[in-house]
Structure 1
Amino acid sequence: MSAPIRLSIALVTRNRPDSLRRCLTSLRLQDTPAFEVIVSDDSENPAVAAAIAQEFEARHVVGPRRGLYANRNAAAQACRGTHIRTMDDDHTLPPGHLRACLEAVTRDPHALWTCGEQSFIDERTNTFTPYAAQLHPSGVAHAMADPDDNWAIADGATIYPREVFERGFRFVEELGYGSSYLEFGALLYARGWRSRCLPGAFVEHHDEAVAQNRHSPLSCLYASLCYNLFFRRNLLRALRHAAPHVAHFGALPRLLRLARSRWKS
């Protein structure tokens, strides 16, 4: 008999207590509770988030303070469930969302499950994206062809089997915000985990105009190199997509070492 599904929420936060409270309130209102909620906190004053987490019966852990993806890794490693659902403090969930997540994981516990997104900019409705995106050879996000067999990642809204992290797979921590999370999806796909889109499920992302247009050229170049040199090897395509990043070619030795260490291990 297979073990019962236990869905952990790996929630990352940093210096946004009001957003954290709104997020945890949304989780409390779900008709199906998570097995546990882990709040991995990169805040300058962790006591604030710790108090909020205690109020909502979530487990607070102090984050590594090395950036978003180091914190995401820390949150996942603190989880004890069979499956780990990423979440950001500026997300809320529509009614019935966690029930849909659990039903999907029960149908296919070995897949990664991703969600769409309804975005709000300064609390005004913005774009609706029904599906997560997957890594393109250029290093950016691209629509997948098959919702049930792809390498898409929804950065703060993906469910991973716990085995992913138990086997030592991690988000890239060295490059900060950007396309490196998409590389994680391609790497896991190459290692046998396919991504599937959870039909009709989405998160509500409460962003701010000042935070838009976040971009990391190094992360994009790195993700493109991983795609074209390891995931779907094509040297000519690798050169073509690297050319627009010529200003960052000084970082190529470091990026290639990083890519080789992950994809050749």
Structure 2
Amino acid sequence: MTATPVSATLESGVPVSIVIVSRNRPEALRRCLTGVEQLQYTPFEVIIVADPAGIAVARAMHFAGALKLVPFDRPNISAARNLGIAEAAGEVVAFIDDDAVPEPQWLRHLLEPAQQPEVAAMTGFVRGRNGISFQYRARRLSGSGEPETLDIDPETPSILHPPPGGAIKTEGTNMAFWRDVLVEMGGFDPAFHYYLDETDLNMRLARAGHATAIVPLAEVHHGFAANAMRSANRVPRDLFDIGASWAVFHRKHLPAQDRAAHWAHLRAQERRRLLRHLISGGLEPRDVPRLLRRLDDGHAEGVKRPIASVTLPEKANSAFRPFPARARRSVAMFTRPIKLARDRAKAAKRALSGEIVTLINLSPTALYHRVAFDPAHAIWLQTGGIYGKSTRDDAVFRLTRRLDRLQREVKRVARQRGFGDDHRR
């Protein structure tokens, strides 16, 4: 079965530069770029700031000639992002991590509130590894830089002004800023090698009086790929940069008399986190003191790490290089486990021909649903049971007809994926 496809149209708006920083994750970058190719927005350009392996992957993509490639092989995400901003010729600069994939309508929704005069930054919701649950939604920052949950309308953009002493949080894997504001702010502070880099920028934006738009339907899927700091299961491998970043943050944003107490609070939080991983089997007993020592070593280094202002070019170093975005119809295909291999091949052919394909494979069970972007076939694959959960507030078991459930799942992601209102066999 197939849901009726929607006429292909590209949303047109302000020119956007997408910056993707990648290091030691070439296959994740390939997946991200495969998803970026399906974005239904124009005009945008793509800037890859990456190590040699990432540059090699980018050069192997069939649209490599449309990419701006910036070699960079140091573990400093702030410095890497600043290099991307320097090359960005779009009016807005958007950021997505290399281990994330955007929904096809990501930029369309993310840029919707951009023309509101008080808006300097935009951020969206982030789905986690199962493609269903939200990893991040709406958050603000306390005066000490810690995130706090916000309750906003889950369907429409919310334009928020910073709370007293705090800020509105943008999510590093799903955020955008007017380029002239980034230049005015001095971009990202390279003293934050990893962690708190966008938090620091959020606090500076707040002090300057800028508003941030939180756009729920601007979704990306974030897998939390492994890196030097954590495993793929989010088990800490090294806490040095977390300690260093907090020390830098304290020097920039907290009164001197408050820093020691807040650091003690944060250190206790990290210790509890390590103990939870120890109990769940992710860490061994000897790992806990080792990681806490690394946290303390990082903090000691961050106390004396140089903090320097950054000057970004008012005009980009290179001309805008529009990505060859292609207007694509979005279509949902329905299958069953026994027919999955056959229908996956059919879906791949349709994706190759220029469609955005969602393949929904439901069994007659109550299995929880999962959604993943399959880079090998360039399709969105949803699996689970006809009677199983696909949202947090679903019942564990819901009796329903197969076709009704399929139509419900299409409707659930219609605005993010680009479906219309008419879905039938």
Normalised-by-shorter TM-score class: 0.7 to 0.9
Match of 1:51 among 56, 60, 63: 60
Within-5 A mapping of 1:191-206: 191-206=208-223
Distance 1:200 1:175, change over 3 A: same
In terms of fraction of residues, the more helix-rich structure is 1
Percent identity, aligned pairs only, is 23
Aligned to 1:187: 204
Name the CA distance, whole Å, in 2 between partners of 1:45 and 1:7. Answer: 22
Distance 1:159 1:55, change over 3 A: same
Name the CA distance, whole Å, in 2 between partners of 1:50 and 1:29. Answer: 18
AA aligned to 2:161 is D
Aligned to 1:228: 254
Aligned to 2:161: 149
Match of 2:137 among 131, 134, 159: 131
Q: Which stretch shifts more, 171-180 or 88-97? A: 171-180
AA aligned to 2:261 is R
Aligned to 1:232: none
Name the CA distance, whole Å, in 1 between partners of 2:250 and 2:43. Answer: 36
Name the CA distance, whole Å, in 2 between partners of 1:207 and 1:130. Answer: 12
SS of corresponding position for 1:105: coil
Post-superposition offset of 1:15: 3.2
Name structure 1 gaps, 5 residues minimum. 230-234
Aligned to 1:177: 194
- Asked whether 1:70 is paired with 2:76, we answer no
Post-superposition offset of 1:144: 4.6
Q: Which stretch shifts more, 160-169 or 184-193? A: 160-169
Name the CA distance, whole Å, in 1 between partners of 2:96 and 2:225. Answer: 17
Post-superposition offset of 1:81: 0.6
Match of 2:104 among 88, 95, 101: 95
Aligned to 2:46: 37
Aligned to 1:217: 243
1:153–1:181 Cα contact (<8 Å) kept: yes
SS of corresponding position for 1:59: strand
Distance 1:157 1:114, change over 3 A: same
Post-superposition offset of 1:204: 0.5
The size of the alignment, in residue pairs, is 248
- Asked whether 1:240 is paired with 2:261, we answer yes
Aligned-residue RMSD, C-alpha: 3.0
Name the CA distance, whole Å, in 1 between partners of 2:205 and 2:197. Answer: 13
Post-superposition offset of 1:137: 3.9
SS of corresponding position for 1:106: coil
Name the CA distance, whole Å, in 2 between partners of 1:240 and 1:60. Answer: 44
SS of corresponding position for 1:185: helix
- Asked whether 1:165 is paired with 2:165, we answer no
Post-superposition offset of 1:127: 4.2
SS of corresponding position for 1:61: strand
SS of corresponding position for 2:66: coil
1:10–1:38 Cα contact (<8 Å) kept: yes
Q: TM-score, normalized by length of structure 1? A: 0.78
> Which protein shows a greater Rg?
2
Post-superposition offset of 1:49: 2.8
1:225–1:242 Cα contact (<8 Å) kept: no
Distance 1:7 1:208, change over 3 A: closer
Distance 1:157 1:139, change over 3 A: same
Post-superposition offset of 1:223: 2.2
Q: TM-score, normalized by length of structure 2? A: 0.51
Distance 1:35 1:180, change over 3 A: closer
1:40–1:61 Cα contact (<8 Å) kept: yes
AA aligned to 1:194 is A
Distance 1:156 1:37, change over 3 A: same
Distance 1:37 1:253, change over 3 A: closer
Aligned to 1:11: 20
